[in-house]
Each structure stands twice: as C-alpha cells, then as structure tokens.
Structure 1
Amino acid sequence: MDKLPCLPVKITAKKWADKLQDGSVFMRSLYDFGSWSAIERHNRADSQMKDGVQGDIGEGIVKTVDPKVGDEFFNCFDPEIRAVMKGMYYIDENFYQYSKIYCMYGLTYLIHEKRFEQPDERLLDFGDTAVIIYNPNEFLSRVLNALRGKYGDNVNFRCDEVRYYPPDYYGDLDEFCKSSSFSWQNELRFRVALLDGDDTVTDEFGLVRKCLIRDHSPITLDIGSIRDISVQIPTDDLIGLRLPDFLLP
C-alpha cells in the first residue's frame, strides 16, 4: 500500500493541546505505561493510563517465546505450571522503563486512493482535541534543539513508527514494537534516554559509553510556539476526516 509519510497528531485534552501549541512537550517515562507500574495504576484507578489505551503491559518486552516450545529458562518450570502459561516473554529492567516517551497518532495519506486513512473511533479515549503537525521536519528540529539546549550531548534519541506484531510472533522486540491489538493507534513515537556525562562504562566491544540515568521522572521541553506549523481541531473532526483543505497533498 503506497502512502506518504504520516503527519504527527497529538490527541489530548484541550488544555494540553493549547500547551503543546504554545511549545510545551511533556514526556513520560515508559515505566508509567508498562507492566512495571501496572499495579500502581490499578490501585489509583488511573483512567487516563488504563490498559488498552495509554497503558500497555506489553511495553518493555524484549523477547517473546512460543509457549508450546519454551526455551532453556521456561523449560525449567514445573510441567503443570508450563501447561497453564498462555504466554512467555522477557521484560527489560535496565533501559526501557527509564526512557522518556512522546506518543502521537500518524495521520496517513493513501496515494493511489487519494484520501487519508480512516482514523479509529477509539482515538477519542485519548482526548477531545487533536493537534495536527503539518511540518513534521520542523517540529522534529525544534524538539532536537530543545533537547540539545537542555541536556547537551547527554541524550540518546530515536524516533520511528511503532511496528505491530501478531499474536503468533515469537522473537526479539524493542521499544518501538507493540501487540497488533494496538494497531488502531497507528503510533509515532519519540524516545529519549538521558545519559550521565560523569559516569561511563566500557561495553562488550571495548567502547566507552555514558551510563543511562535511571530515573522515572517525566521531562518537559520548551520548543517555542508551534502554531505556525500545526493546527488544532476536535478529535471528532479528525475521526470524521473533516480536515483543513491545506492538509491535502
């Protein structure tokens, strides 16, 4: 299916949409979304971070294993326990949960059909307002400049589209992989890892690297107003594809 690169769309409550257009980019740690904090989210009845919308206990999975086959570790379990295991996977404890994440919807234009792909109605669960960023390169540049200004070169940054894997996939995963049950989110993601410039470690290849700062605290970037490269519309209009004419290619 031929398509143009996605337009980033932040779907949130109106007050946060206004803050974004004023230049405030708020990034949570992946810890807040994944299994590491699932019990905390449940105990405080956090509807915003509920599983299936923003919360995802699959965040941080680095490998899935076929329960019918197992592996060296899981095959050490008692057969009666293995018999009731519906899934086998490994969750990273050393890196992903400390990474700061900024999640957006990807508004996709289908070239041959000359139309935007239909957004899912469940996007309303994220908020009533959509900020469509129609100059993604400039937005990325402003984010990177803000990171550089605040943290210098003590940052590891990555941005990409999230890839969705089917239930029968077994193998390696990273922080840009999610279950296909979340594919309706069509997510674009920034990932920021903050590094300690005074603390280094030598890796397996003999390279000296800065150590990750293991902190779950969120960060906020001030990238300056983005009203010149974005437009705000109700989420209902996004789902109904009632979009400003200038967004059409």
Structure 2
Amino acid sequence: MAGLRVTPVHGHGYGRTHGQARLYVSLPDGRAAAWYDRDTGRVSLLLDDRRAEVLAALRPYVVGEPTVGPPPVPTRSDLVRLSLHPDDDLAPNRPGEALLGDLDRYAGPRRLRPDPRRRELAAQQLAGAALERLEGAGWRVLHSVPLPGAATIDHLLVGPAGVYAVRSLDARRRRVRIADPLVTVGRAAPLPLLRDARHRAERASFALAAAVRAVLLLVDAERVERGPAVAPDVRVLTDRDLPELARAGGVLKPADVESLYWTARDRRTWLRV
C-alpha cells in the first residue's frame, strides 16, 4: 500500500490545481491503478484487485463517501494522461525549478554579496505567476522544461495564439536596451539573449513538430528602448504586456492546445533536441 503514488493532474506548485480536479493513483512501476474525480466524488478503478489499497491511499484526499467503480470510456486525453509516468510529467515543475535545484545543491558558504541566481529565480517566479493567470483564457503553461545539455526553457506557453518559448529576464527597475541580437539591462554588459531565445524556440519546434515562437519577457523593467532592426521572429514583452497576448487567437483550436500541452509535459519529448 505504501508503494502507491497519488498525483494531481495539473500541479504547478503553490498548492494549486488547474483544469480538472483529479488525482491519479499509480503503482511503483508507473502503471495507473485508479483516478479520483473531486468534482463528481467518483473513484474510477482500473485495477479492481487493488481496490482496498487505492481507497486507503486516497483517504486523506476524499471528501465524504465516494462512488467506486470501473472508469467511463476514456477520452483521448485520458489515455495520454494514464500512460504518462509521474517521473516523466513536467506539469508539477514550479517556475524556476531548475534554479531551485541548483541553489539547493550548490549552496556553498555564505556570500558577502547576494547570489545573482536568486534575482533570476525571483524573475522566473513572477513571470510564471503572470503566465499562469492566462489559463482562464484557454492557455496552458509549463515551467523549467529541461533540454539536453543542461539548458532549459523557462516557460512554455500553449494557447489560442500558438506556442511560445518564453525566456524571462530580471529587469527590475532598470532600463533595457534591445539591439538585435544584444540585450543590455542597466549597466551590465550586453548579451546575445535574442539569439539564445531563438535557438531554444527552434529546439522546442523540433521537439513538438509545431511552430514555436520565441518570447523575451522583461520582468518589471523601468523602460525599454528598442533598436530599429529588431527582427519580428522574437517578441519582446514586459509582464504588463501579457494581457495583450491573452487576447490573441486564431491559430490553435482548444483540442490542438490540449494535444500539444500533453505532448510537451512528457519529459521524453525533449530528450533529442
């Protein structure tokens, strides 16, 4: 019984659950045993011989007396979800998940100056929270999508206007100058961040077999100065511009959004890009 694992459908950290209010119960080898739908109070058993163990694992989460029985005919999304091992599911990743791991592993001695990664982490967390607010408008978001070679896509956004690989940049109360491919924040040295954003979007496009556009998201910038030759293939936005993106559409139907989202949340999708 202790080996059963209970996993929420769309966890993003911070105790939140998006989309359908479901919990999935899986065996240690990753096979699905059941799911519990909080909205209907129903436990759908896939393995009837594990009934007692499943109910015991769900007991802390169940309100009242649930209905227990075989599952209804599954939808395509159900089939994809049930085949995804929890260890391969990227949906629970929090904004800045990769940085959090680095900071935990390599904390080192106390620094005289703050670790710059903590400002980068704060920017990713603020950007992630802003992007998650788009979910009410039909968007899906994943955070810290791992790529081979220790690179990550900070945020992957899938919605009515298409798919976006979002790089979030800490620009707190500073001026940002854009001169493609260089980006200068305050008095720091210019960096080719637009080139990097394009490259990660290209890798995402290859992995998903779909068009993916690059976005550089400037978090809390005081002022943005754009050069005359910034190519249109990278959108440079501030966190204040995101409602404009939420209103865009006309590219993907809801079923396409769900299909791409479920492909993207599988860690194995990104292994060879």
Asked if Structure 1 and Structure 2 have the same fold, meaning a TM-score greater than 0.5 normalized by the shorter chain, the answer is: no
Larger relative contact order (Cα-Cα within 8 Å, sequence gap ≥ 6): 1
| TM-score (normalised: structure 2) | 0.26
Higher alpha-carbon Rg? 2
Higher strand fraction (1 or 2)? 1
Higher helix fraction (1 or 2)? 2
